[in-house]
Amino acid sequence: MTKFFEAIKFPKLRTALVSIDSALNRVLAEKIIAEQDVPGFNRSAVDGFAVNATETIGATQFQPKIFQLTPRNRASSGKARQIWTGNPLPAGTDAVVMLEDTKRVRDRVDVWNQVTPGQNVSKKGEDIQKGTTAVEAGTRLKPQHLGFISALGVGNVKVFEKPRVAVLNTGNELKRLGEELEENQIFDTNSHVLRALCSELGAEPIDLGLARDDANEISEKLKVGLRKADAVMTSGGTSVGGLDLVPDAVNDIGNPGVIIHGIAMRPGMPTALAAVEGKPILILPGNPVAAMVAFEVFARPLICRLLGMKQVEPRPAVQAKMTRGIATALGRRNFVRVRIFKRDEQLLAEPVSAKGSSMISTMTRANGYVIVPENREGLEEKESVIAQLFDTVEG
């Protein structure tokens, strides 16, 4: 992976200024610094009565302190003002007595509990002080970030442009949706899956369509991809020991070409990582499950980098107990698909068995995967594992 990343000339990422209302899930390109204190004034954190705290000393339910209510923005000695959460504190007050600690009788209020100066008050600058960083560059903007940014009065933010990833699927046996299948043909699934995975991460997929198992056709489409996109991703036409049409085509069109071919993982072994004139090309297997796993392992870190994130965005991960044991291949990193579910408040991981790792249906029955390292021959029943989730957990 390091060697692969070294062969890539990561460009200075393009940025765009967008309204915070269209910035959800975009990656922030420059840190947001508070240009003012938030809140900008002392305000009440509760519903109640603003008072001068020293005048409440000794107040109890049996010996309440009595205040006259004032409607004014200034409270002199012996005066209190009714106030709601978020209201500014009137001059002359420094604390708020909560409603439930008072009894109001017409224009008078009995205070049953003493308060200390600053009690139930959100101080000026308590949320953030002028000049400090509110949100760091490289942050993926969630609703809470957009809320915080709007509280600072910032309406437009500089985000990184979505990286463009061109996706090509290869194979004589493939037909596009809408076409008629002939004997021994199948529908293209990988280009849909890979483009959806790109979109899900926040990249912009470019559809290069299909190429037949023909070196020239593959080369031509790869060149289009390299011209239009920041990265190219293919599937099919790569195996270990078999046909290597795509790696060969990549080597034909430029340098350094294929950097790594054949990864000690399962599924996903025939994956190859390449670069041509500094642009990354990911050569993923044709088997749809292997393609998804290889996307996870190689495309995800690459795209996170192109998105402008400082580290690879992790999937949610949970700890769960295996419902049964499973054998895996020694010497390879195995990605075991599991269905995580809840039973008796415990998370269980059921291996989604599949003789054929090519079965895309296994990916819809699973909602996560467990990595079994190279030096293990499997997982044991009741073993505690960490599963990375790619769908929700029911129950």
Map the footprint of its own copies across residues 5-24, applying CB under 8 A.
20-21, 24
- Of the pair 191, 276, the CB lying nearest its own copies is at 191
Report the C-alpha gap between 387 and 325 in whole angstroms: 15
| Backbone dihedral angles phi then psi of residue 191, each to the nearest 5 degrees | -70, -30
Of these, 62, 242, 344, 373, which contacts its own copies (CB under 8 A)? 242
Distance of CA 92 to the CA centre of its chain: 47
Interface of this chain with its own copies, residues 33 to 72, rule: CB under 8 A: 38-41, 43, 45, 47
**From 64-72, 145-153, 219-227, 246-254, span contacting its own copies (CB under 8 A):** 145-153
Nearest distance from C-beta of residue 122 to its own copies, angstroms: 4
Shortest spacing between CB 344 and its own copies, in angstroms: 14
Angle at 16 between CA 14 and CA 21, to 5 degrees: 145
Give CA separation, 84 vs 65, 74, 81, 183, 332, in Å.
Answer: 21, 16, 10, 74, 63
- Per CB under 8 A, contacts with its own copies among 176-215 are 177-178, 181, 183-190, 192-193, 195-197, 199-200, 207
Place of tokens 């993982």: 265
113 binds its own copies (CB under 8 A): no
The least CB distance from residue 305 to its own copies, in Å, is 16
Q: Does 116 bind its own copies (CB under 8 A)?
A: no
- Out of 11, 131, 209, 316, name the contact with its own copies by CB under 8 A: 316
The stretch among 8-16, 150-158, 223-231, 377-385 that binds its own copies (CB under 8 A) is 150-158
The stretch near its own copies (CB under 8 A) out of 133-141, 253-261, 271-279, 375-383 is 133-141
308 lines the binding site for its own copies (CB under 8 A): no
Of 49, 112, 148, 335, the residue at the interface with its own copies (CB under 8 A) is 148
Q: Does residue 241 belong to the site contacting its own copies (CB under 8 A)?
A: yes
Task: In angstroms, give the least distance from the CB of 391 to its own copies.
Answer: 5
Of residues 326 through 385, those in contact with its own copies by CB under 8 A are: 355-361, 363-364
> Which residues, including other chains, have CB under 8 Å from residue 141's CB and lie 6 or more apart?
20, 23, 24, 25, 26, 27, 28, 135, 149, 157, 159
Handedness of CA 32, 36, 42, 47 (dihedral sign): negative
The residue assigned the tokens 């290069």 is 208
Among 14, 142, 227, 228, the residue binding its own copies under the rule CB under 8 A is: 142
Contact flag: residue 126 with its own copies (CB under 8 A): yes
The CA distance from 89 to 130, in Å, is: 20
Binding flag, residue 388, its own copies (CB under 8 A) = no
Closer by beta carbon to its own copies, 24 or else 255: 24
Cα dihedral 243, 247, 248, 251 in deg (nearest 10): -170
Handedness of CA 94, 98, 102, 108 (dihedral sign): positive
Instruction: Report the site for its own copies in 264-283 (rule: CB under 8 A).
Output: none
Cβ atoms 380, 337 nearer than 8 A: no
Binding its own copies (rule: CB under 8 A), the pick from 11, 153, 325, 331 is 153
Query: Residue 229 and residue 227: Cα distance in Å, rounded?
Result: 6
**292 belongs to the binding site for its own copies (CB under 8 A):** yes
- Output 9 or 142, the one with its CB closest to its own copies: 142
Closest Cα to residue 272, out of 245, 307, 253, 311? 245
Which of 14, 57, 84, 384 is close enough to bind its own copies by CB under 8 A? 84
Q: Output the CA angle 167-274-369, nearest 5 degrees.
A: 65
- The tokens 């642009």 sit on which residue? 279
With CB under 8 A, what is the number of residues at the site for its own copies? 90
